[in-house]
């Protein structure tokens, strides 16, 4: 048995407990609000047991260092983008975000990257805000 | 009114300037989505969902549908020229398509892919036009127990057909069911899994899940190796690309793949990769040219390309008539319909016939547009793959942000998109299929509704099911199909290849 299956089993067991706890909280009879959490909790419970006791032949892949760094950088930048957009506004934070991501991927040409990402951010701002009429955060500069 | 009358009305609406324009835009975008490796039709439609906010429903859905079937046309181009499938349903096209390119017959391969896609797509649309009303009539007679049985069948098919392991498919579906339960219970207004948070009361937004799993995950995967594809194939003028004798040689392959693709498309859980593989295998067994399969047989390109286009139209039958998405792209299209308050199902044909028939009619027109786009203009599309990934990845992420934020103006949804992007990557590494998760989110709501209505009909029990033969038939069909899939997995060597869509 691969240890990863055990981890999936633990995850399923936790979700099962959560579902049963929620079933208990909202239970108002069979056919009521708690029915589906009960069914889903039972499936998770069953799966957790099977993942623990049955060996599997599925070959899983590990995340290599390069992928982990890429995931952390891109994911982290995106999370930061969500945080700063309210303060800096859509236009500036999008420019910053696009430039950082593009520079990370290309690892060269910083000047041209800053120029084209700025142009893309400005176009996106114009299209989404003015052409499509979407509400976008304006930030402290009210742009 | 008859089907032909409705279809004529649909054509009159689809032929308006606005609808024609959006069918063309969708066809072009779909071809690009199909050509670019890393962006499938599901992500393509999801990325365009924000556009629904500013368009009326008919042109918006016409465009999203055109992206979907346009991707099927475009997917073959890189398969044939570079041995790199643009999307999963064109994987099998690589086998003979790339061999033809190596033999200097790339033009013939590209032309037959476009012609076969057009013929099969059109035959399947005729099937959709005449088969859908029959299913609607049947569906109108179905009550909650029958719908419960049908959804059970759909669940079993989706879980058993996805990925290598039934267990992993079920785990994925269970997570999807769990996600679907978060928020308000629409019957009594009780909250579930919200932990007192007001943000979670509105539930997890489906668009955020789709964007995360299909668009953001692809960026995480592809960011490591920047795509550098160069095609140096020189193509002749479009009217010299293929000989009439080659089209005649493939005629029956195209017809067979049309019927196979259409009917298999109606079955939940069957992916485009499986349909392509299935039609290729059928053709390899029945074709007169069977000895050349794998060595550049033109039928080996015509069959899967025809089948995946017919599959597209086939999968619209359960979506439009029963509200059942058979695969992820259909689930996203369903969410696009629901943004407009249009609930697919038998009643949609009664309440909004002009809309439904305009979308169907637009697909006939879109097929003609795509034939034109993919024959004379194929040289232009081949240059698109040369766009470096450093330009594409940030744009996808930007669309992920705008797409998820625009639905409810919620940063929680954007964060959800990021979480599902990471989850999608991890699921890929652990060989857990994402398709059951996505389909389950949609099916759980229908399942819960019909389950609770069935229990209510039975006075607190499910015994009422025993008196409903159609419901029992669906449930038995689900159990038999799952058993058959398990048998095939363990006894057929080719089963592994089939279920992985390789």
For every residue of B426-470, DSSP letters joined together read HHHHTT--SHHHHHHHHHHHHHHHHHHHHHHHTTSSSGGGGG-HH
* pLDDT value, residue B123: 95
Same domain, A109 and A82: yes
* pLDDT value, residue A107: 72
pLDDT at B502 over 50: no
Whole-angstrom CA distances from A65 to A42, A70, A108, B224, B377 are 37, 9, 21, 10, 42
Q: Are B275 and B307 in contact (CB under 8 A)?
A: yes
pLDDT at B424 over 60: yes
Question: What is the percent of chain B with per-residue pLDDT over 70, rounded to a whole number?
Answer: 93
Distance from CA of A142 to the nearest CA of B (A): 17
Distance from CA of B195 to the nearest CA of A (A): 10
C-alpha closest to that of B370 among B124, B27, B18: B27
Same domain, A115 and A79: yes
* pLDDT value, residue B500: 47
In B, minimum Cα distance to A47 occurs at B171
* pLDDT value, residue B45: 86
* pLDDT tens digits for range A24-74: 999 988 888 999 999 999 999 999 999 888 766 667 777 778 778 888 999
C-alpha closest to that of B397 among A108, A129, A78, A90: A78
Q: What is the dihedral of CA A89, A92, A98, A104, to 10 degrees?
A: -120
pLDDT at A140 over 50: yes
Cβ separation A31–B455 shorter than 8 A: yes
Rounded to a whole number of angstroms, the distance between the first and last alpha carbons of chain A is 57
Least confident of B92-101, B233-242, B265-274, B346-355: B233-242
Give the pLDDT mean for B348-364: 92
pLDDT band of B233, cuts 50, 70, 90: low
Name the β-bridge partners of B192.
Answer: B183
| A84 lies within 8 A of chain B by CB | no
Same domain, A41 and A95: no
DSSP state of B184: E
Q: How many domains does chain A have?
A: 2
Q: Give the tokens for residue B26.
A: 């969708």
C-alpha closest to that of B106 among B367, B279, B304, B301: B301
Lookup result for tokens 């392959």: B253
Cβ separation A71–B422 shorter than 8 A: yes
B342 Rama class: left (phi>0) / alpha (psi -120 to 50) / beta: beta
* Interface mutation vs chain A, best among B171, B172, B216, most A CBs within 10 Å: B171
Give the pLDDT mean for B110-125: 93
Average pLDDT of chain B is 86
Least confident of B14-18, B276-280, B411-415: B276-280
* pLDDT value, residue B393: 85
Q: Give the tokens for residue B229.
A: 């594809």
Give the pLDDT mean for B446-462: 91
Residue A82: its chain B contacts at CB < 8 A?
401, 411, 414-415, 418
Residue A73 lies in a domain: yes
Q: d(Cα B374, Cα A94) in Å, to the nearest integer? A: 35
* pLDDT value, residue A96: 94
Q: d(Cα B417, Cα B401) in Å, to the nearest integer? A: 8
DSSP state of B238: G
Residue A113: its chain B contacts at CB < 8 A?
390
* pLDDT value, residue B231: 57
Q: d(Cα B9, Cα B354) in Å, to the nearest integer? A: 7
Lookup result for tokens 């079955």: B267
Same domain, A78 and A123: yes
* pLDDT tens digits for range B24-75: 999 999 988 888 766 778 888 888 887 766 788 999 999 999 998 888 888 7
pLDDT at B176 over 50: yes
DSSP state of B294: T
* pLDDT tens digits for range B381-398: 777 766 777 788 888 899
Q: d(Cα B123, Cα B131) in Å, to the nearest integer? A: 12
Average pLDDT of chain A is 88
Q: Which of B185, B223, B418 sits opposite A79 (nearest CB)?
A: B418
Q: d(Cα B129, Cα B379) in Å, to the nearest integer? A: 33
Q: d(Cα B255, Cα B292) in Å, to the nearest integer? A: 20
C-alpha closest to that of B289 among B277, B278, B301: B301
Cβ separation B430–A4 shorter than 8 A: yes
Residue B165: its chain A contacts at CB < 8 A?
56, 58
Least confident of A84-98, B416-430, B486-500: B486-500
Give the pLDDT mean for B480-484: 87
Window A:34-53, CB contacts with B under 8 Å: 35-37, 39-40, 43-44, 47, 50-51
pLDDT band of B16, cuts 50, 70, 90: very high
Q: How many domains does chain B have?
A: 1
Same domain, A70 and A127: yes
Domain residue limits at A46: 3-53
Sign (positive or negative) of CA dihedral A134, A122, A87, B212: positive
Residue A49: its chain B contacts at CB < 8 A?
none
pLDDT at B501 over 50: no
pLDDT band of B415, cuts 50, 70, 90: very high
pLDDT at B372 over 80: yes
Window A:7-36, CB contacts with B under 8 Å: 8, 12, 15, 18-19, 22, 26, 28-33, 35-36
Rounded to a whole number of angstroms, the distance between the first and last alpha carbons of chain B is 45
Same domain, A75 and A34: no
* pLDDT value, residue B193: 94
pLDDT band of B497, cuts 50, 70, 90: very low
Q: d(Cα A92, Cα A121) in Å, to the nearest integer? A: 8
| A72 lies within 8 A of chain B by CB | no
pLDDT at B301 over 60: yes
pLDDT band of B10, cuts 50, 70, 90: very high
Cβ separation A36–B444 shorter than 8 A: yes
Residue where a domain terminates, one of A28, A53, A78: A53
Question: What is the percent of chain B with per-residue pLDDT over 90, rounded to a whole number?
Answer: 37
Least confident of B207-211, B268-272, B286-290, B332-336: B268-272
φ and ψ of B461, to 5 deg: -135, 170
C-alpha closest to that of B46 among B319, B417, B440, B336: B336
* pLDDT value, residue A130: 85
Q: d(Cα A113, Cα A109) in Å, to the nearest integer? A: 6
Q: Give the tokens for residue B446.
A: 């229908």
Cβ separation A18–B430 shorter than 8 A: no
Name the β-bridge partners of B183.
Answer: B192
By CB atoms closer than 10 A (0-12, 13-18, 19+), residue B95 is: buried
B189 or B16: which carries more pLDDT confidence?
Answer: B16
Least confident of A85-99, B55-69, B124-138, B372-386: B372-386
- A-B interface: how many C-beta pairs under 8 angstroms? 157
In A, minimum Cα distance to B194 occurs at A22
Domain residue limits at B197: 3-500
* Interface mutation vs chain B, best among A18, A53, A64, A70, most B CBs within 10 Å: A70
* pLDDT value, residue B189: 82
Q: Find which of B294-298, B362-366, B391-395, B400-404 is predicted with most confidence, using mean pLDDT.
A: B362-366
* pLDDT value, residue A90: 93
pLDDT band of B15, cuts 50, 70, 90: very high
Q: d(Cα B317, Cα B466) in Å, to the nearest integer? A: 28
Lookup result for tokens 């279809």: B7
pLDDT at B1 over 80: no
Q: Are B482 and B160 in contact (CB under 8 A)?
A: yes
């Amino acid at each position: 048995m691969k240890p990863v299956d055990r981890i999936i089993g633990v995850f399923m067991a936790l979700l099962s407990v959560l579902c049963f706890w929620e079933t208990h909280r909202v239970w108002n009879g069979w056919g009521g609000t708690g029915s589906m959490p009960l069914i889903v909790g039972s499936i998770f419970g069953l799966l957790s047991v099977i993942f623990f006791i049955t060996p599997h032949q599925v070959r899983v892949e590990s995340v290599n260092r390069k992928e982990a760094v890429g995931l952390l950088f891109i994911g982290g930048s995106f999370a930061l983008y969500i945080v700063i957009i309210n303060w800096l506004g859509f236009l500036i934070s999008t420019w910053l975000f696009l430039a950082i991501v593009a520079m990370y991927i290309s690892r060269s040409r910083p000047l041209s990257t800053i120029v084209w990402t700025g142009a893309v951010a400005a176009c996106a701002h114009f299209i989404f805000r003015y052409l499509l009429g979407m509400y976008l955060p304006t930030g402290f500069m009210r742009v | 009114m008859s089907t032909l009358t409705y279809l004529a009305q649909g054509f009159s609406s689809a032929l308006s300037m606005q609808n024609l324009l959006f069918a063309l835009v969708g066809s072009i975008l779909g071809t690009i989505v199909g050509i670019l490796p890393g962006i499938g039709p599901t992500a393509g439609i999801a990325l365009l969902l924000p556009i629904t906010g500013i368009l009326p429903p008919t042109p918006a859905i016409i465009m999203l549908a055109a992206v979907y079937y346009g991707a099927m046309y475009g997917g073959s181009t890189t398969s044939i020229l570079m041995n790199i499938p643009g999307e999963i349903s064109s994987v099998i096209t690589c086998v003979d398509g790339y061999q033809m390119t190596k033999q200097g017959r790339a033009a013939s391969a590209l032309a037959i892919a476009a012609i076969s896609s057009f013929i099969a797509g059109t035959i399947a649309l005729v099937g959709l036009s005449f088969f859908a009303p029959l299913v609607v009539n049947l569906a109108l007679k179905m009550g909650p127990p029958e719908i419960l049985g049908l959804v059970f069948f759909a669940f079993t098919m989706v879980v058993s057909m996805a990925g290598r392991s039934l267990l992993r498919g079920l785990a994925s579906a269970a997570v999807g069911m769990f996600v679907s339960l978060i928020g308000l219970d629409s019957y009594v207004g009780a909250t579930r899994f919200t932990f007192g948070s007001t943000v979670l009361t509105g539930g997890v937004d489906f668009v955020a899940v789709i964007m995360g799993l299909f668009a953001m995950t692809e960026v995480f995967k592809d960011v490591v190796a920047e795509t550098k594809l160069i095609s140096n194939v020189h193509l002749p003028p479009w009217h010299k690309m293929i000989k009439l004798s080659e089209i005649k040689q493939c005629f029956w392959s195209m017809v067979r793949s049309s019927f196979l693709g259409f009917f298999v498309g109606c079955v939940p859980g069957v992916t485009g990769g499986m349909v392509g593989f299935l039609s290729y295998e059928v053709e390899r067994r029945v074709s007169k040219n069977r000895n050349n399969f794998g060595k550049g047989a033109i039928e080996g390109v015509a069959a899967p390309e025809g089948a995946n286009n017919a599959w597209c139209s086939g999968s619209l039958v359960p979506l439009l008539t029963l509200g059942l998405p058979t695969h992820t792209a259909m689930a996203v299209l369903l969410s696009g319909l629901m943004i407009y308050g249009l609930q697919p199902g038998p009643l949609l044909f009664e309440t909004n016939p002009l809309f439904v028939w305009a979308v169907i009619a637009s697909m006939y027109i879109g097929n003609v547009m795509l034939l034109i786009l993919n024959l004379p203009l194929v040289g232009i599309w081949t240059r698109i793959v040369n766009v470096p990934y450093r330009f594409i990845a940030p744009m996808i992420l930007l669309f992920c942000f705008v797409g998820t934020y625009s639905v409810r103006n919620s940063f929680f949804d954007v964060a959800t998109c990021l979480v599902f992007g990471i989850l999608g990557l991890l699921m890929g590494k652990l060989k857990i299929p994402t398709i059951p998760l996505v389909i389950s989110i949609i099916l759980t709501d229908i399942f819960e509704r019909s389950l609770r209505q069935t229990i209510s009909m039975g006075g607190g029990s499910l015994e009422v099911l025993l008196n409903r033969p159609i419901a029992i038939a669906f449930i038995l069909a689900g159990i038999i199909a799952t058993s058959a899939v398990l048998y095939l997995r363990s006894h057929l060597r080719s089963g592994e290849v089939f279920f992985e869509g390789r």
